[in-house]
């Protein structure tokens, strides 16, 4: 009797493309805050580890997450966040954002959650397609050279929808 847990979802040994009907998701990352992009990256990674096909579209401030010069300087915004532990009066003072960010970063490191740069690399390695938004690139005057090498392509929103045909779109 063969191993009883080889269900139809189990992948084939030669790594051939997933059969039709495989789950697919497409995440849209439109914000560049540390607390706003990490969920996207973690969810994308978890999806890949669960055998779900995944692509991520970085647009507007989400571009910072895949921009080489900015990915290591993502901040947490405590202003105007009703759940932030810091009162708005204080969160608006100079330096508070950096202070809060360092606290959160410390917490994230303690939990052994990778930094955004490593997460982007992991996603790319695990076969997640990372796309930059063409329009946002023009808006922020960035070129493909400014982006991390993991980014697969710079495409328009229309392209993204075409390439992720059949996927569940999740806007974060």
Partner 1 sequence: MDAELKARLDAIDAKLDYIVARQEYTEDFIREMTPVAREAMNAMAAKLSTWEERGYFAIAGELGGLLDKLSEAYGPEDVHELSGSIVAILDTARNLTQPDMLELANEAGDVLHDAENVKPVGPFSAMSAARDADVQRGMGVALELLRHLGRAQGSKARPEVRRPAPKAQASAAPMSEDDVPAVCPVPTPAPTPPADEIVEWEGHRFNGEGFLLDPSAWNEELAAKMAGGLGLELTGEHWQVLKYARQDYLATGSSPNVRRIASGSGVGIRRMYELFPKTPGKSAAMVAGIPKPAGCV
Which spans of this chain sit near partner 1 (rule: CB under 8 A)? 1-13, 15, 18, 42, 45-46, 48-51, 112-114, 119, 122, 125-127
Shortest reach from residue 118's CB to partner 1, in Å: 9
138 vs 140: CA distance, rounded Å: 6
Cβ contacts of residue 69 below 8 Å, gap of 6+?
146
Cβ contacts of residue 139 below 8 Å, gap of 6+?
60
Cite the beta strand spans of the chain per DSSP E.
Answer: 24-29, 53-58, 129-133, 153-155, 168-171
- DSSP 8-class letter at 153: E
What are the tokens at 65? 């997450």
Shortest reach from residue 92's CB to partner 1, in Å: 26
Query: Nearer to partner 1 by C-beta: 125 or 168?
Result: 125
Shortest reach from residue 7's CB to partner 1, in Å: 5
Query: Nearer to partner 1 by C-beta: 118 or 162?
Result: 118
Query: Nearer to partner 1 by C-beta: 12 or 158?
Result: 12
Query: Nearer to partner 1 by C-beta: 10 or 88?
Result: 10
Shortest reach from residue 134's CB to partner 1, in Å: 27
């Amino acid at each position: 009797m063969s191993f009883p847990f080889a269900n139809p979802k189990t992948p084939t040994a030669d790594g051939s493309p997933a059969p039709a009907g495989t789950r697919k998701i497409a995440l849209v990352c439109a914000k560049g805050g540390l607390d706003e992009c990490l969920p996207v990256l973690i969810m994308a990674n978890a999806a890949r580890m669960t055998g779900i096909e995944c692509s991520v579209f970085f647009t507007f401030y989400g571009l910072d997450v895949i921009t080489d010069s900015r990915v290591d300087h993502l901040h947490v915004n405590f202003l105007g966040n009703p759940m932030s532990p810091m009162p708005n009066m204080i969160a608006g003072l100079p330096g508070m954002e950096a202070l809060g960010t360092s606290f959160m970063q410390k917490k994230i490191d303690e939990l052994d959650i990778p930094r955004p740069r490593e997460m982007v690399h992991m996603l790319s390695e695990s076969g997640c397609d990372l796309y930059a938004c063409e329009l946002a690139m023009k808006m922020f005057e960035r070129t493909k050279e400014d982006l991390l090498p993991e980014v697969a392509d710079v495409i328009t929103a229309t392209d993204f929808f075409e390439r992720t045909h059949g996927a569940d779109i999740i806007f974060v």
